[in-house]
Amino acid sequence: MAVVIVICSLLLAALVVMLISAPLRAASRPGSAAPAGEDGARAPDTASAERRAELEAAREAKYREIRDAELDYRTGKLTSTDYGVLDAQLRSEALTILDEIEALGGAVPEG
């Protein structure tokens, strides 16, 4: 019985070591240049990719604000004057974000 337990423990330990060391082995293999996916080495434009993600999140939040403001107006919480002012302000803020995304380069995807 004890032998079975020892063998099982060793097998489990081996499995764990293999699982954990896979990224290290992949990185040290010669010629492994920036594999894609979760183990990818830092891409040269990671900083800008992360800025892009940040801007996209801000853009979604701004779109939501615009729609919320419209819903507020249609359910009677905002007068039409207030809504007009707020709406224009939010749209210009949205365009600033869209411009920044475009400036980061590449086509702006729909969505």
Partner 1 sequence: MAGLGYACLLLALAVCAYGIGASLYGVRRNRPEYCASGRRSIYALAVILTVAMGVLEVAFLSNDFAFNTVAATSSRTTPTFYRAAAVWSSQEGSLLLWAWLLSLWSSLALFLTRKRMRDVAAYATAILLGFGGFFVSLMIFYANPFATSSPAPAEGVGLDPLLRFPTMMIHPPMLYSGYTLCTIPFAFGMGALIARRLEADWLKVIRRFAFAAWLFLGMGILLGARWSYSELGWGGYWGWDAVENASLMPWLTGTAFLHSLMIQEKRGMLKVWNVSLVLATGTLAIMGTFLVRSGVLNSIHAFGGATLGVPFVCLIAVLIGGSIYTVVSRRELLRSENRLDSLLSRESIFLANNLVLVGLCFVIFWGTYFPLISAALTGQEASVGPPWFDRYTVPLALILVLLSGIGPVISWRRASLANARRNFMAPLACAAATLIVLLAAGVAHKTFAITMFCCAAFVFGSVGQEFVRGTRARRAMAGEAPARALLALVRRNRRRYGGYIVHLGIAVLFVGVAASSSFQHASELQLGPGQSTKVGAYRIRYVEPTASVTPKNDRAHTGSTLSLGAVLDVTKNGRHVATLRPSEGFYASGNPAEGSVSSLIGGQAVSHIGMDGGITRDVWSAIAPNIEAPGLKRIVTAGNATLPPEEAGIALVYLARAYLRRPPPTQFHFLVSPLVMWIWLGGLIVFGGGLIAAWPAPSAVRSRVAARSRARALRGLARA
Give the footprint of partner 1 on this chain (CB under 8 A). Answer: 2, 5-6, 8-9, 12-13, 15-16, 19-24, 26-27, 37-42, 46, 50, 53-54, 57-61, 63-69, 71-72, 74-79, 82, 86-88, 91-92, 94-95, 98, 110-111
66 and 87 in contact (C-beta within 8 Å)?
A: yes
Q: C-beta of 37: minimal distance to partner 1 in Å?
A: 8
Residue 51 carries which side chain, given as an amino acid letter?
A: R
Tell me the angle at which helices 80-103 and 46-74 cross, rounded to the nearest 10 degrees. 170
Least distance in angstroms from the C-beta of 48 to partner 1: 14
Question: HSE on the CB side for 84, CA within 13 Å?
Answer: 3
